[in-house]
Each structure stands twice: as structure tokens, then as C-alpha cells.
Amino acid sequence: MSAIRYDNVDAIRRELTVLKSLDSSDARTMPSAFYNLPSFHELEKDEIFRKEWVCLGHIGEIANPGDYFTTELIGEQLIVSRDRLGEIHVLSNVCRHRGNLVAQGRGNKRSFVCEYHAWTYDIDGSLKTAPLMQKVKNFDHKNCGLPKLNSEIWNNFIFVNLEGNASPLASRMTKLDKLLHNYHHELRNLLFSEETIWNTNWKNLNENFMEGYHLFATHPKTLQPMTPTQLCKKVPGEEAWTAFRSYYDPNYPPRGPFHEDMTEDEQRNSILFNLFPSFVIAVAANYTLYLCLRPAGVGKVAIRWGVAGLKEDPNDPEVVAYVDLCKAFNLEDKEKLETLQIAQNTRYYQTGPLAPDDLEGTIWDFLNYVASKLGDDVKLNN
């Protein structure tokens, strides 16, 4: 029996449309090309990452006026900054004169200076000075600021919409906000953050984070003793997100401190969710682990991840121990996902059945989300 060839974008889009027609009892995976075909990756960048809300980081990374960090999203160079009034901006990191970078890395500044010709911009992106340009007829100082991109803050996380036409993010989160209310994530302080790159497709990591099926095999010593695969329960999601609860082993010690509003049930599980397309987060009883995923190529994903909690001191031994745990199981996932990326470069893998709804139903939700954006029954603007 010959393998079906999924070696072009049209074939993958047709498969996504077929997937939408299936009942959840027939839930299945996508073929390898879904994760490793460069032309499909380009389509994702244009039709998903330009048009959807994408998380860039946590407000704790720019806690003070003048703080900023630079980042990149599908080739767009960006600055995330906090101005003197405390307002957060997402700006294009490209000088309006000849297009060089105006900032690099992270830090605290009064202004951004392009080192090519010394054009200087305020922390909010407005142009302050442009040497000798007063001699240029019709030069409009006010219209030469750094482009400001559409952004929103949700639960202390910074989101950007590159195209600027997405409907407001907050209105999509009403049901999820109710699920998270008693955890009071808005009170949790940023305690750790880091950037890294893994050699796997962004969807592989997105799916891996959102299923409890792999815990017993991939994390037998780090996570399985605490949040065993057998105790995972899917949460009914919505168009913009999917989620599941990872319950703690009854014999595992309580994971305080808890906010006083939390129910006994909420104290005994973590809720993990995926805000489509690429923000994955685990809100535990005491800490939050989050990963902001950005495609860095068909076989690479850029990760900005961190930990937040009710504690204030990043050097608190309990905080350090939790961060070390996160680093340990992240390393275990990285190893599996990088070998997965190697194995996916084949034409012979077709599709396979997904595990029961409580274990991999979130992957089925994610695949249906991608199908709603890129199926061949969807009219694309580009």
C-alpha cells in the first residue's frame, strides 16, 4: 500500500478540512508535512501569526518606567516598552530613516537612539530628534515616530496583533477568566524568565505542553509522581482556547501558599491552557509556568518562558526549587521533541489515533483551530 503524499500546501489544507468533518471519537493526528513543510510554515506565518493575538512576555519584564526588551515575531523586529506614565507599548524596532535597529537586548532607557544616523525616539516611540533634517523641505517630525502595534494586556501578559485587525482579546476570555478567578493570577509576581530555542516545530511544543498522556513516560520522576497521567481531566474549551486540569496525587503534599478564595478542588490541581495559537500556560495552586512560543523556522521554535507566583523574592529557596523543577522537565520535553522533529522528516508516517479526550482532547481542539484558519474550505486573503 503506497503512502499518501502530503508534499504540498494544498494536500495539507485538504487534510485539515477532512479533519473538521470528523467526530471527536475519530480524533487523529496530522501527517508529518504538517510540521515540516516549509511552504505550509510560510502560510502559517501569514494567516495565523500576522492575524492572531500572540503573547510576547510578562509585564514583570518591564516593571519600571523606561524598561524595555526587544523581540522578534515572524521576522518583525519589535520593542516592548513601558513609558513614564506606566503605559506599555509594542513598537516596531526599525528606524524611520533608513531602517536600522534602534534598540537591542533589554534594559532601561530614557530614549532609543539609532546608532546609524542618531535619530532618537522617546520610550513611547515618538521621534525626539533627527539631526540636520530641519533642512529637508516638508519633513514632518510628528509623522516619523516608530509604528505602534495593536497590543493588549491579559492577566499580566503582553499580547500583540501584527495586522491590527483582530477582535479584542479580552472578550474571548470570559469563560476562561471565570475558571482562573480564584487563582488570582493578576497578583502573581514574575520570579524567573528566560529565552531559548528548541529544534522542533512550534506546533510540536504547543501540543506537547497541552497533553497529559506523555507524563508517565517522559517525566516518570519529575511530574508523574506529582500530577499523574491518570488524573488528567479535560476542560470544555472555546473557539480561542483549550484547557485541561492536571490533578495532584492525593499522597502528594499540598502546594501552598493558596489564595484564600481558592476552593479545595482548585488547591488540588493545575489548570493548563493554550490560548491559540501559541501561548501555553500552567496555573498551579501556588505558581504559574508560561511559555510564549514564536516560530523561528519550520524546525525551530523561539521560547520566552517564565515563572510567576505570590512570593516576591526570586531567591526564596522554594522559588528556586520550583524553577529547577521546571528546568528539569523542560529538558526532558526538549529531548523528546527534538527527536520527534527528526522522525517527522518522512513520507511514510501517515496519521494515528489520538488518546482519549482527557489525555489528548486538547490536541484535537488545537488541530481544529488550525483547520478553522487554514483548511481548504477557508478563503484566504493572500
In CATH, what number does 55-153 get? 2.102.10.10
Between 79-83, 138-142, 259-263, the lowest mean confidence (pLDDT) is in: 138-142
State yes or no: pLDDT of 145 exceeds 90: no
Residues 337-365, mean pLDDT to the nearest whole number:
94
Q: What is the largest CA-CA distance in the chain?
A: 76
Element (H, E) at 332: helix 317-343
Nearest partner of 302 among 179, 197, 166, 177, judged by Cα: 197
Measured distance CA(64)–CA(54) in Å, rounded: 23
3-state DSSP assignment of residue 202: helix
Distant-in-sequence, close-in-space partners of 228: CB < 8 Å, separation ≥ 6 = 215, 216, 249
Q: What average pLDDT does the chain have?
A: 94
Thinking of the domain 171-373, which architecture would CATH place it in? Alpha-Beta Complex (3.90)
In the chain, % of residues over pLDDT 70: 99
Cis omega before residue 250 (within 30°)? Answer: no
CA gap 103, 160 in Å, rounded = 18
- Grid coordinates belonging to 115: 546608532
Burial 215-246 (b: 16+ CB within 10 A, else e): beebbeebbbebbbbebbebbebeebbbbbbb
Same fold flag, 55-153 and 171-373: no
Instruction: Kindly give the residue spans of alpha helices, DSSP state H, lying in 37-123.
Output: 38-44
pLDDT of residue 257: 76
pLDDT score for 300:
98
Distances (CA, A) of 218 to 105, 228, 250: 34, 12, 21
- Using the predicted structure, report yes or no on whether residue 123 has a pLDDT greater than 70: yes
Q: What is the pLDDT of residues 153-206, one digit of tens each?
A: 999 999 999 999 999 999 999 999 999 999 998 899 999 999 999 999 999 999
The confidence score (pLDDT) of residue 3 equals: 59
What's the pLDDT band for 218 if we cut at 50, 70, 90? very high
Q: What are the two backbone dihedrals, phi and then psi, of residue 325, each rounded to the nearest 5 degrees?
A: -60, -45
Residue recorded with cell 490536541: 363
Residue 376, classified by CB atoms within 10 Å of its CB into exposed (0-12), middle (13-18) or buried (19+), is middle
| Grid cell listed for 61 | 519584564
Q: Where are the domains of the chain?
A: 55-153, 171-373
> Quick one: pLDDT at residue 6?
80
Q: How many CB atoms lie within 10 A of CB 144?
A: 16
Task: Pick 139 or 300 by higher pLDDT.
Answer: 300
Per-residue pLDDT band at 135 (split at 50, 70, 90): confident
Alpha helices in 152-310 (DSSP H): 174-180, 202-209, 215-218
Phi, psi of 354 (to 5 degrees): -80, 155
Q: What is the pLDDT of residue 382?
A: 58
52-73 average pLDDT score:
98
Which grid cell sits at 102?
A: 534602534
The pTM of this model reads: 0.95
140 pLDDT higher than 80:
no
C-beta separation of 163 from 182 below 8 A: no
Q: Is the pLDDT of residue 1 over 50?
A: no
Tens digit of each residue's pLDDT (9 = 90 or more) over 245-300: 999 999 888 777 788 999 999 999 999 999 999 999 999 988 999 999 999 999 99
CA distances from 12 to 82, 168, 348 (A): 41, 30, 15
Please give the helix or strand (H or E) that residue 20 lies within, else none: helix 9-20
Rg (CA), the chain: 22
Over residues 124-137, mean pLDDT: 85
153 CB contacts (<8 Å, ≥6 apart)? Answer: 59, 88, 159
